[in-house]
Amino acid sequence: MGNKTTKRNISALGPTEFTGIQLKEPSTYAAGFTGIKVALQHVFKEMGIAKSLRTLSQMNQKDGFDCPGCAWPDPKEPSKLGEYCENGAKALAEEATNKRLDAAFFAKYSVEELSNWSDYQIGKGGRLTEPMVLKPNSVHYEPISWENAYAILAEELKALNTPDEAIFYTSGRSSNEAAFLYGLFIRAFGTNNMPDCSNMCHESSGVALNETLGIGKGSVKLEDFDSAEVVIVIGQNPGTNHPRMLSALQKCKENGGSIISINPLEEAGLIRFKNPQEINGIVGVGTSLTDIHLQVKINQDVALLKLILKKLAKLDLEDNKVFDHNFIETYTEGYASLLNDLERYKESQLLEICGVPEDLVDKTVAVLATKNKIIICWAMGLTQHKNGVDNIKECVNLLLLKGSLGKAGAGTCPVRGHSNVQGDRTVGIMHHVSKELNKNLEKVFGFKPPEKEGLDTVHGIKAMHEGKVKVFVALGGNFLSAASDTEYTAESLQNCSLTVQISTKLNRSHLVTGKTALILPTLGRSEIDKKEGAGRFVTVENSMGIVHRSKGMLVPASSNLRSEPEIVGGIADAYFGGSHSVDWKNMSTNYDLIRKKIQMVFKGFKNLESKSKGSGFYLPNNVRDLDFSKLPNGKAQFSLCNLAKHALSADEFLLMTIRSHDQFNTTIYGLNDRYRGIYNERRVVLMNEKDMQKYTFKKFDVVDLVSSYEGKERKAEKFMVIPYNIPQGNLAAYFPETNVLVPINHYADKSNTPISKSIVVKLAKRN
């Protein structure tokens, strides 16, 4: 069993038993017929056949609902066959399951018992159906009315010494309407303590892009993939995490483009794609995707990129045609110092650090030298390192040198995680203070928002640990398991007097709680949200800045669920008791009114009402317009980035914590990682065969992973060693099981994102 951490005898980590591993060769393609088969198995099992087929046909369609999975955009004309992927289907199955967790379930199982279930078991229980309360000293949740639940929260909030003793977390599935209202209430209440899942995700991208290009979002549109000459996919595994992106990569290839992947692993989804929408994808060989795979060592992307930049600069000296000098002169600042800085590094040194064979680097340089429509896509492989911000700035350097911004077929593409994580930020979920936003809110709503910077995820956890925060509220997500340093975070949550989860499904954050805990069950994306007989819709923003509608179609999991805006409004109304300049009750039921206010507060949302129909509308994006007026001297900025430093001793490895093919973050859909050939087991650690020989490990040897920072040892127990094609000195294992190893005090410079992809560990063999 995992460690016990509390007064209630709760396990923050869950069981460590093995589930029966089977290994096969890693797959050399993604999707295809097996993808369809597995998708349907998942949905049929959870939802039954008729409901599954009816629902899947509405997913990502113009009048339908937005997939609750990732944030990849829909094509202009969604396929009539169904616009969804294997993992979108799994996300739907998880939400629209026919199984239910009712009061009888909670009467039968105590939180102590449930905490010894695996995340997989907990998630498979079914949907939450009614508000529940866990009273002080009790180990069973019991039913409570909505009004009494709101009253408990309102009382606790009123009892605080200052509003900064409360924290309000947001995960990225909430609609724009819910997130806007939530942010409004939090500010009206008086704090900016708004950590969100972005803090653990693309925060490094936001910081890097804001500083270099003046907007924290990507610049490409979906159609840019049709005309891109080169797409670089770096630190991202689209086959599993953004499967619909593979169709965009396929188009790029069909139109003559090249794909370069930079990843310590050779991910199946980047090798070959068998498009399930095409005959060739079902019975044929599909489309080969990656032209060059650069198997970089973990966290040595800056070294590799610098090497590429140096080699390109050398070629440019010969004919002045490799870089876009006109672009550099017109739009950028810092070119000369970038070139000077590159002089500091030796090619041989960079080559050795990044671990990539020189012939492949040269091949890459040859491709890039002659092309100027380049897209760079990235995700967590770049952001979750100490130098996450610099990783991304080095990518921006390359795009600036090549003039690959603000034109068709070129640009930045941070591939977002949750389906509306970008929208939540856009409408105000942010722990930083924006003077402009505060001014607009004051004008529209007649109250003065707080001006003190709020806490992000890492600092929120620390504040709870230090007893400076007493109330924790989460709009979605699974804070305990998603955040770093699981046992420390567990202590933090248990330090609170009240923890509140607004959720669709049970997870470990409902079990590791404050003295009192509330579960407020909410509608999912796929469900009908009705008011006085009429169905309501919400809006979301995808990874490319398009805002569009989403309208559920399924009968809700229980008649006692409330929509997220209604819950937020209910809390606000209970807290203010009618004495506030905002009409919370009316706002929370009338989404048109919320949208009207969003339009008044934020630029770019004009006509949100009419235009969010159909395929939606683009929000403004200064990079697309090559407008850098907000940046120093009105120019896009080159950056000088440092190499990552890891001084490892002989028996230390660098561990990246990644997703299997059968999970959505902390939600475990199943126990297989099909593309990597690992079946029925999650407690595995992937290791290079040469390292196995060197350290005398055999396949299936059982080890503990141990990290040690500032003298404190953290241990993830019982993992099986698996030989895998991964650079020497590097390891990979799945999160959330390995989050216990990530030290709370180690996070990216500037963005504070935990270092989930470069944890220094040792392996201790178990007998």
Which of 23, 92, 184, 265 is the binder for ligand MGD (CB under 6 A)? 265
Binding letters toward ligand MGD, positions 547-586, x by CB under 6 A: -----------------x----------------------
Tokens of 506: 């049970």
Q: Could you tell me which stretch among 16-24, 354-362, 520-528, 577-585 binds ligand MGD (CB under 6 A)?
A: 520-528
201 touches Mo ion by CB under 5 A:
yes
Among 74, 211, 267, 456, interactor with ligand MGD by CB under 6 A: 267
Our finding on whether 199 is near ligand MGD (CB under 6 A) is no
Mention every residue, 6+ apart, whose C-beta is less than 8 A from residue 8. 111, 112, 139, 513
Rounded to whole angstroms, how far apart are CA atoms 467 and 736? 25
Residue 327: CB partners within 8 Å, gap ≥ 6? 400, 403, 405
Nearer to Mo ion (CB atom), residue 384 or residue 412: 384
Return the one option of ligand MGD, Mo ion, none that residue 656 interacts with (CB less than 5 to 8 A, by type): ligand MGD
Separation of CA 713 from chain center: 28
540: Cβ–Cβ under 8 A, 6 or more apart, which residues? 66, 175, 176, 419, 420, 423, 547, 548, 550
Binding partner of residue 510 among Mo ion, ligand MGD, none, CB under 5 to 8 Å per kind? none
* DSSP H helical ranges for 59-118: 86-95, 103-108, 111-114
Are 39 and 90 in contact by the 8 Å Cβ rule? The answer is yes
Stretch that binds Mo ion, among 130-138, 201-209, 435-443, 688-696 (CB under 5 A): 201-209
Member of 13, 201, 228, 496 binding ligand MGD (CB under 6 A): 201
Q: How far is CA 487 from the centre of its chain?
A: 22
Give the residue with the Cβ less far from ligand MGD, 272 or 757.
757
SS3 of residue 722 by DSSP = strand
Find the angle CA(535)-CA(539)-CA(541) to the nearest 5 degrees. Answer: 155
Site size toward ligand MGD (CB under 6 A) is 62
Report the b/e string of 568-594 with b at 16+ CB within 10 A: bbbbbbbbbeeebebebeebbbbbeeb
Contact 264, 656 (CB under 8 A): yes
Residue whose entry in the numeric block shows the structure tokens 């069909």: 254
Work out what residue 221 binds among ligand MGD, Mo ion, none; the CB cut-off runs from 5 to 8 Å by kind: none
Please identify, among the stretches 153-161, 247-255, 356-364, 471-479, the one whose residues bind ligand MGD according to the rule CB under 6 A: 471-479
The one segment of 147-155, 157-165, 257-265, 553-561 that binds ligand MGD by CB under 6 A: 257-265
Q: How far apart are CA 224 and CA 234, in angstroms?
A: 18
CA 365 – CA 360 distance, rounded (Å): 9
494 binds, among Mo ion, ligand MGD, none (CB under 5 to 8 A by kind): none
| Alpha carbon distance 388, 205 (integer Å) | 8
Tokens of 55: 């629902």
Residue 266: CB atoms within 10 Å: 17
Contacting range for ligand MGD; rule: CB under 6 A; set: 653-661, 678-686, 696-704, 712-720: 653-661
Q: Which partner from the list ligand MGD, Mo ion, none does 426 bind, CB cut-off 5 to 8 Å by kind? A: none
Give the residue nearest to ligand MGD (CB): 417
Residue 205 binds: one of Mo ion, ligand MGD, none (C-beta under 5 to 8 A by kind): none
526 lies in the site for ligand MGD, by CB under 6 A: no
Q: Using an 8 Å Cβ cutoff, are 205 and 383 in contact?
A: yes
Q: Which one-letter DSSP state was computed for residue 291?
A: S
Residues 285-314 that bind ligand MGD (CB under 6 A): 296, 298-299, 301
- Letters for 497-516 (x = contact with ligand MGD by CB under 6 A, - = none) are -----xxxx-x---------
Q: Write the interaction track for ligand MGD spanning residues 150-189; mark x where CB under 6 A is met and - where it is not.
A: ---------------------xxxx---------------
Please count the helices (runs of H) and the strands (runs of E) in the chain: 31, 33
Q: Which of ligand MGD, Mo ion, none binds 274 (CB below 5-8 Å, type-dependent)?
A: none
Q: How far is the CB of 665 from Mo ion (least distance, A)?
A: 7
| Cβ-contact 332, 323 below 8 angstroms | no
Interface with Mo ion (CB under 5 A), residue from 417, 477, 545, 670: 417
Distances (CA, A) of 504 to 130, 272, 447: 10, 35, 32
Residue 554 partner contact from Mo ion, ligand MGD, none using kind-dependent CB cut-offs of 5 to 8 Å: none
When CB distances are held under 5 to 8 angstroms depending on the partner's kind, the choice from ligand MGD, Mo ion, none that residue 235 binds is ligand MGD
Could you tell me which stretch among 414-422, 433-441, 573-581, 612-620 binds Mo ion (CB under 5 A)?
414-422
Q: Per-residue DSSP letters for 361-425?
A: HHHHHHHHHH---EEEEE-HHHHSSTTHHHHHHHHHHHHHHTT-SSSTT-EEEE--SBTTHHHHH
Which residue, 617 or 735, is less far from ligand MGD as judged by CB? 735
Taking the C-alpha atoms of residue 314 and residue 598, their distance in angstroms, rounded to an integer, is 50
Sketch the per residue contact string, 53 through 92, with ligand MGD: x for CB under 6 A, - otherwise: ----------------xx----------------x-----
Joined together, the tokens standing for residue 341 give 């800085």
Tell me which of ligand MGD, Mo ion, none is bound by residue 45, counting a contact when its beta carbon lies within the kind-specific cut-off of 5 to 8 angstroms: none
What is the closest distance, in whole angstroms, from the C-beta atom of residue 540 to ligand MGD in the complex?
A: 11
x/- track of binding to ligand MGD for residues 716-735 (CB under 6 A)? -------------------x
- Token digits of residue 542: 């995808």
Task: Classify 11 as helix, strand or coil.
Answer: strand
User: Which CB contacts under 8 angstroms, 24+ apart, belong to 277-280?
Assistant: 277/79, 277/81, 277/247
Shortest CB 298 distance to ligand MGD, Å: 4
Closest contact distance (angstroms) between CB of 3 and ligand MGD is 17
Q: Please report whether residue 635 would count as binding ligand MGD according to CB under 6 A.
A: no
Cis? peptide before 736, omega within 30° of 0: yes
* Binding interface with ligand MGD (CB under 6 A): 69-70, 87, 171-174, 197, 200-201, 234-237, 240-242, 262-265, 267, 296, 298-299, 301, 379-381, 384, 417-418, 475-479, 482, 502-505, 507, 522, 524-525, 564, 656-659, 663-667, 735, 738-739, 742, 756-757
* Binding interface with Mo ion (CB under 5 A): 201, 417
